[in-house]
Amino acid sequence: MRKISLDKLDLLFSEIAKSAKLYLPVDTDNGAKYDVWEDGKKLSDALNTVRSAKDFFFPQTENLMDFKMSGKNIEIIDTRSECEDFVVFGVRACDVKSFEILDRVFLADPVDTFYKNRREHGVIISMACNKPAETCFCKTFGIDASEPCGDIATWKTDDALFLDAKTEKGEKLLSALEKITEAAKDADAEPQKALIKERLARLPLAELETSAFGNGKTNELFNAPEWKDLSESCLGCGTCTFVCPTCQCYDIKDFNTGNGVKRFRCWDSCMYSEFTRMAHGNNRLSQLERFRQRFMHKLVYYPTNNDGLFSCVGCGRCINKCPINMNIVKVMKKLGGKKNG
Amino acid sequence: MVDMKDPHIPVVGVVTDIRIDTPDVKTFRVVTPDGKKAFEHKPGQCAMLSIPGVGEAMFSITSSPTNTEFMEFSIKKCGCVTEWLHSMEVGQQITIRGPYGNAFPVDTAFVGKDMLFIAGGIGLAPLRSVINYCRHYRDRYGKIDIVYGSRSMEDLVDYKEIIEEWSNDAGVNVHLTIDREQPEWTGHVGFVPNYVKELGFTTDKIAILCGPPIMIKFTLAGLQEIGFDKTQVYTTMELRMKCGVGKCGRCNIGAKYVCKDGPVFRCDEVDELPDEY
């Protein structure tokens, strides 16, 4: 465990930025967002960024390859290049967990090299949540916001930042920061952790639980009559999927630049009717079916394929952003039996 | 890292032959620019074909893996990509990647069994690969029955191959049917599900179904009526796909991805999926 006094945060950031591009949450007119650190940029105090941190590894749009066409001939141009090292500071426990969930999709055989490239070059510095919000329910999914994972975990007290390396990557970076940080005992961060734990226990969603969901619950939940009421007002806007740190569905499209073709991928949403539309029909015609797919995937299908791991981290972004105030918590309460009622 | 093969990046294929099967189905022969097969596959697997700038789509590989020279794709004109493919001329390059998905268990569950293939319309395309595989390794399988129906005579895919090759094989019986009477047609008239029941097969076979969903539904019911168990019946599914490797989320049904866990399913496995295909 190392520590640095808060008035030296700029020194910490400039030291990290010497060896790699550093991103951290900064305040904007539209809430906190990750930005490249440069002298004068201040770490946001907001609990979390409006958009999740998945962009770092799975960006909203990215080029997959280029094509040159001449007459009947096609040339495929591999545009991949080795990603530069980067560091993301201030990632919350929920978003850190989302990377594990995305890893199981993109790093499963056959490996998605675009994702893997970024993943290997990124160092995650997490930060414990001093003031978890009433929309937080990470605890439901076994995440402890007082003990975030990542390559380095940090805790911010009134006057200092404690840093603890969790991986080899993290140890390497932290040892490079030895000159500007000072040694600290693990016990020094304990009061802060205890304070956070106490706050987490008092959150309104602290009791939300998952026993009604998970591996093998397809048949009893798929045909539940509750989907009708739950999905009735859904506008199919897809906002939930875009702010979600674990939503990973994507589209692949071609763009003709006039001087060749770029094939890119971009985030897509199972909430859109186009998502499954084929030339000969669509297997999810109603918003009920699309709505159900999103939640069944997170709460049943994904866990079935991934040792019971749920594809939700309880970050609460969908609660904040849904224009009709529908969200996974309401779904879980309605379908989770009396205990969640 | 970037030297690693990425599943999204295809190779170039050249269309070396285009056969007109029906008014809206053509069969395309594809090899790499140096004249080889782009990759090996198993019967029932699929490949992503694309025309950069138009799009990419998943197609079943129609040719048998036992064909060592080229791959073939029988494709019905019904959307953007397929319309473009239909407008191609011989010599056109496309992109190809694969193979994707599981395959029919031709080397395990099918060995030593009598085979009953049932197809409707373009549904013959994915079965042609299996049929020709079974014909190639003829002694590994028992009797082969093929029931194939289309709207009209003109809509029967692979007609020449069926008449000149399949029908002449020992131990292979071909039963063709069309939906409505036609003056030149002397064969059976009627829908596939009814024809299957009329033919009254013994139930000691493996049945493989492919065709429009409505045909599959009624044929499966018909087969069960004459005593088939769902564990004897296989089908192959088709949903919209983008990545082909179980990541983009599009062909997800229940805990399965049709591109990776399918497209071949035994009918009792289909029953375990939520009803949205």
A154 shares its domain with A285: no
Q: Are B120 and B178 in contact (CB under 8 A)?
A: no
- A336 and A255 inside one domain: yes
Locate CATH 3.40.50.80 in chain B: 114-236
Window 256-275 of B, Cβ < 8 Å to A? 274
Is residue A207 domain-resident? Answer: no
In a shared domain, residues A113 and A15: yes
pLDDT over 70, % of chain A:
99
d(CA A232, CA A144): 34
CATH entry, B11-99, from 2.40.30.10, 3.40.640.10, 3.30.300.250, 1.10.150.120: 2.40.30.10
Q: Which residues of A touch B5 (CB under 8 A)?
A: 110, 113
Q: Which of A74, A253, A270 sits opposite B249 (nearest CB)?
A: A270
- The minimum CA-CA distance between A334 and chain B, rounded to whole Å, is 20
Range of the domain at A237: 218-340
- If asked whether residues A79 and A186 sit together in one domain, one would say yes
In chain B (277 residues long), the average pLDDT of successive 10-residue segments reads 88 98 97 97 98 96 97 95 97 98 97 97 96 96 97 94 94 96 96 94 96 91 94 94 96 95 95 87
Domain check: are A186 and A240 in the same one? no
What are the DSSP E strand ranges found in A117-260? 122-127, 152-156, 160-165, 182-183, 250-256
Nearest CA in chain B to A271: B250
pLDDT over 70 at A338, yes or no: no
Q: DSSP letter at A213?
A: S
Interchain pair B11, A277: CB under 8 A? no
Q: Do B255 and A305 touch (CB under 8 A)?
A: yes
The residue among A176, A201, A226 that closes a domain is A201
- pLDDT score of A341: 59
**B114-236 CATH fold:** Rossmann fold (3.40.50)
- Confidence at A215, pLDDT banded by 50, 70, 90: confident
What b/e readout covers A143-152, taking b as 16+ CB neighbours within 10 angstroms? bbbbbbbbbb
Cis peptide before B193 (omega within 30 of 0): no
A248-262, pLDDT tens digit by residue?
999 999 999 999 999
Inter-chain CB proximity B8 and A112 less than 8 Å: yes
Query: Beta strands B71-76 and A281-282: pairing type?
Result: unpaired
Split into its structural domains, chain A has a count of 2
What are the backbone dihedrals phi and psi of residue A74, each rounded to the nearest 5 degrees, phi first? -125, 135
Q: Is B55 on the interface with A (CB under 8 A)?
A: yes
> Do residues A9 and A143 share a domain?
yes
Residues A20 and A132 in one domain: yes
* Greatest CA separation for chain B: 64
- Using the beta-carbon criterion (under 8 Å), do A283 and B277 form an inter-chain contact? yes
Q: Rounded to the nearest 10 degrees, how much is the dihedral formed by the CA atoms of A11, A15, A20, A26?
A: -10
Mean of the pLDDT values across residues A111-136?
97
**Contact yes or no for B45/B58 (Cβ under 8 A):** no
Task: Using CB atoms within 10 Å of the CB of residue A48, give its burial: 0 to 12 exposed, 13 to 18 middle, 19+ buried.
Answer: buried
Q: A-contacting residues of B 197-236, CB under 8 Å?
A: none
Mean pLDDT of A230-235: 96
pLDDT of residue A278 exceeding 90: no
Sign of the alpha-carbon dihedral angle for B16, B19, B25, B27: negative
User: What's phi and psi for B13, nearest 5 deg?
Assistant: -125, 150
